Amino acid sequence: MRGVLGAFRELDAAVGAIDALKKTRFGDIHVFTPTPRHELEHALDRGPSPVRKFTLVGGLAGVTFGYWIAIWCSDYWPLVVGGKPIASWVPYTVFGFEVMVLIGALATVAGLFIYAGIPRLTMMVGYDPRFSHGEYGVWVECPADKAPAAEDLLRQHGAVEVRRER
Amino acid sequence: MATVARPVTARDEPRRPNIPAADLQLPAVRDYEQVDREIIGTLRPTVKWAIGLGVAIFFLIIGASAWMYQIYTGLGVTGLNPPIMWAVYIVTFVFWVGIGHAGTLISAILYLFRAGFRTTIYRAAEAMTVFAVMTAGLFPILHLGRPWKFFYLIPYPNWRYIWPQFKSPLVWDVFAILTYLTVSATFLYVGLIPDIAVLRDRENINPVRKRIYTMLSLGWRNTDREWRHFARAYLFLAAFSTPLVLSVHSVVSFDFAMALTPGWHTTIFPPYFVAGAIFSGIGMVFTIIIPLRKWFGLKHYVTINHLDAAAKLALFTSLCVGCAYMNEWFVAWFSGNEAEKAFFANRIWGQWWWASAILYTCNMVLPLSLFVQKLRRNTAWLFIVSFTINIGMWFERFVIIVPSLSHEFEPWQWTSYKATWVEYAILAGSFGWFSMWFLLFIKQLPVIAITEIKEIVPPRLRMRHPHGITPSGEHFDFEADTPGEHD
């Protein structure tokens, strides 16, 4: 992956650089930000996160498993109490609910890990510790011949440091 | 998760200083550098902290020794005798589960309601939740004659021909508590990942700590892609945790409500238990956060406005549990059930009058003082009230469990109960266990969420903002300092 990184101290400068880079269509843009900000989300316009699909599938799988384990265990080793049905759905709703929450929550975290690309052993190209501290990093993917233009554009928008990364 | 640098509208300026707003203001926190410096600064171990940890471990050793003695000698060393086979251990179990409720309430429910005051206290409350549920989970095991057989409750294929009775509330409890512990711990850890990345990047002295933070941060890089999925996952975790908070203590209350014992067999128990759990949890949050903000110098983060707002929540839940107590009396009288009436008379005017008096004083009477704004904003008084709430809520569970078992239907069964030193030692040990984990936590990981505080702090901007933000990114002062500090 080859590209140019610009480090910005100000939020509005980073947003301006993103807008300009999108117009020039250099390549994919990645932003490093110490905290999520709607200004950056609006500038990047990525669309909704697909993590919710994991939540839905995990929740449905959980509720199914919760009812199933209770019913299967009851049928396998019937404990007849007071002539009540062996598999009684009302108390088993507790299991259905609890396991739905458990599997749904864990599936959500799995979705986060998969889409966010964590855990990872190495830092991404261009990462700098100051991006977790307070500065904003705008990384644009571009071939070597377009790199000077991208560097100029980032500087024009107030980047305090611009460097090529690969 | 994300925020926008919003204009300071006429509606917001000037604020009435004594009204805590739904959104969060931290006027004394100026920039990201200050946030990192001050919150990471709390991780430095101090002598007082080491003494506190030593005391916690001392109590833990006392409790562990008493448990060893109980295992060696048998459950006869406790005050348990038929029909009172549930006493201090189950009381303490329900107490700690209740304490564990406020963390998820503050972090999840208040997050969904966008209550800004949660931001500065939720991390401590979440950690408190995880450690409280860890403590609670010990007690059903401590209560077993052969604690090493606890795994019999877990359904898995085996050749023992012993299967859990899925219609038993005790098995529901196992699932509810394990789910709650797992989801609470997951919620805490996911929220911590970006903060651990900050610690990883700022740790330049101790290579071992840096390596541990590197592993725990999972390679978090603060990219927009990570934040986008993180925000969505956090929202869904909050959405899952919200009904879980309500369900767990409902399920715990079924342990009692499903039995025919007087004082237990009532449909009001689930909401009564949930309100009580939230009440006790907020009490414990105050007990922890008030000294913490003082010792760590974090009064400008956990401001008096936040405590005031949380005190209103405590007051509201106190009124809820007070209503439930009065409803219990009313139902006992209105039902015409002689056993129920006799039991309640015994609970309030009979052999357990002293426990009931402590309960009603601590949970119904003293919290009424929080109607007075001046007392809500007095941290010394808040601390005292929170301490009495903790005591009152332990006695609430005692009054529910022990008097009911001591005064069932048949007069020949009526008896009494006296806890032994073993039970008291294990009770003290549980506080040592909880305190030890919490004290270790606050010196390894930030007790206030760094990245969420940064969302509140105005970002640095290049251009002068047209609506009240200076070129250095600070809002124009509209509240010079946090007013109304009485501590």
SS (H, E, C) B311-354: HHHHHHHHHHHHHHHHHHHHHHHHHCCHHHHHHHHHHHHCCCHH
Cβ contacts (< 8 Å) between A52 and chain B: which residues?
232, 236
pLDDT of residue B95: 93
pLDDT of residue B484: 43
Residue B479: which pLDDT band, with cuts at 50, 70 and 90?
A: very low
Q: Give the mean pLDDT of A91-114.
A: 94
- Residues B347 and B400: their CA atoms lie apart, in Å, by 9
CA distance B360 to chain A (A): 32
The separation between CA B50 and the C-alpha centre of its own chain, rounded to angstroms, equals: 24
Q: What is the mean pLDDT of chain A?
A: 87
A51-60, B10-19, B434-443, B449-458: range with lowest mean pLDDT: B10-19
pLDDT of residue A115: 93
CA distance B457 to chain A (A): 10
Residue B23: which pLDDT band, with cuts at 50, 70 and 90?
A: low
Give backbone dihedrals phi and psi of A9, rounded to 5 degrees, phi first.
-90, -25
Cβ contacts (< 8 Å) between A14 and chain B: which residues?
none
A16-30, B1-15, B135-149: range with lowest mean pLDDT: B1-15
Q: Is-contact A59 B243, C-beta < 8 A?
A: no
Give B65's contacts (C-beta < 8 A, 6+ positions apart).
B425
A31, A46, A77 ranked by CB distance to B163: nearest: A77
pLDDT of residue A79: 78
Q: How many residues does chain B have?
A: 487
CA distance B155 to chain A (A): 8
Inspect the interface and report whether the beta carbons of B454 and A121 lie closer than 8 Å.
no
Cβ contacts (< 8 Å) between B462 and chain A: which residues?
10, 12-13, 158
Asked if A20 reaches chain B (Cβ–Cβ under 8 Å), the answer is: no
B275-284, B316-325, B375-384, B473-482: range with lowest mean pLDDT: B473-482
Is the pTM higher than 0.80? The answer reads yes
- Asked if residue B9 has pLDDT above 50, the reply is no
- Asked if residue B3 has pLDDT above 90, the reply is no
Cβ contacts (< 8 Å) between B5 and chain A: which residues?
11, 39
Inspect the interface and report whether the beta carbons of B219 and A81 lie closer than 8 Å.
no
- Asked if residue B11 has pLDDT above 70, the reply is no
Nearest-CA residue of chain B relative to A160? Answer: B462
Give backbone dihedrals phi and psi of B378, rounded to 5 degrees, phi first.
-105, 105
Give B115's contacts (C-beta < 8 A, 6+ positions apart).
B22, B309
Percent of chain B residues topping a pLDDT of 70: 88
* Higher per-residue pLDDT: B462 or B15: B462
Asked if A1 reaches chain B (Cβ–Cβ under 8 Å), the answer is: no
pLDDT of residue B469: 46
Give the pLDDT confidence of A4-62 residue by residue, as tens digits. Answer: 889 998 888 888 889 888 888 788 888 999 998 888 888 888 888 899 999 999 999 99
The encoded tokens of residue B110 equal: 């208040």
Give B428's contacts (C-beta < 8 A, 6+ positions apart).
B59, B62, B63
- Residues B140 and B130: their CA atoms lie apart, in Å, by 17
Give the pLDDT confidence of B106-123 residue by residue, as tens digits. Answer: 888 888 887 777 888 889
Interface test with chain B among A63, A90, A94, by most B beta carbons within 10 Å: A94
A63-67, B67-71, B138-142: range with lowest mean pLDDT: B138-142
Give the pLDDT confidence of B271-320 residue by residue, as tens digits. Answer: 999 999 989 989 999 999 999 999 988 888 888 888 898 899 999 999 99
Inspect the interface and report whether the beta carbons of B462 and A116 lie closer than 8 Å.
no
Three-class HEC string of B154-196? CCCCCCCCCCCCCCCHHHHHHHHHHHHHHHHHHHHHHHHHHHH
Asked if A28 reaches chain B (Cβ–Cβ under 8 Å), the answer is: no
**Binding-face residues of A in 48-87 toward B, CB within 8 A:** 48-49, 51-52, 55, 59, 69-70, 73-74, 76-77, 79, 81, 84
- Residue in B139, B451, B215 with CA at minimum distance from that of residue A132: B451
Which residues, in sequence order, are bridge partners of residue A37?
B3
Q: Give the mean pLDDT of B10-31.
A: 56
Percent of chain B residues topping a pLDDT of 90: 49
Q: What is the mean pLDDT of chain B?
A: 85
The separation between CA B40 and the C-alpha centre of its own chain, rounded to angstroms, equals: 23
Inspect the interface and report whether the beta carbons of B167 and A79 lie closer than 8 Å.
yes
Give the pLDDT confidence of B227-236 residue by residue, as tens digits. Answer: 999 999 999 9
- Asked if residue B215 has pLDDT above 70, the reply is yes
Residue B17: which pLDDT band, with cuts at 50, 70 and 90?
A: very low
Asked if A132 reaches chain B (Cβ–Cβ under 8 Å), the answer is: yes
pLDDT of residue A123: 65
Q: Give the mean pLDDT of A73-79.
A: 83
A38-42, A99-103, B72-76: range with lowest mean pLDDT: A38-42
**Binding-face residues of A in 105-124 toward B, CB within 8 A:** 105-106, 108-109, 111-113, 115-124
pLDDT of residue A125: 66
Nearest-CA residue of chain B relative to A29? Answer: B224
Q: Give the mean pLDDT of B430-448.
A: 94
Cβ contacts (< 8 Å) between A131 and chain B: which residues?
221-222
Q: Give the mean pLDDT of B34-53.
A: 92
Q: Give the mean pLDDT of A98-114.
A: 95
Cβ contacts (< 8 Å) between B459 and chain A: which residues?
10-11, 37
Cβ contacts (< 8 Å) between A32 and chain B: which residues?
221-224
Inspect the interface and report whether the beta carbons of B5 and A9 lie closer than 8 Å.
no
pLDDT of residue B24: 58
Residue A83: which pLDDT band, with cuts at 50, 70 and 90?
A: confident
- Residues B310 and B110: their CA atoms lie apart, in Å, by 11
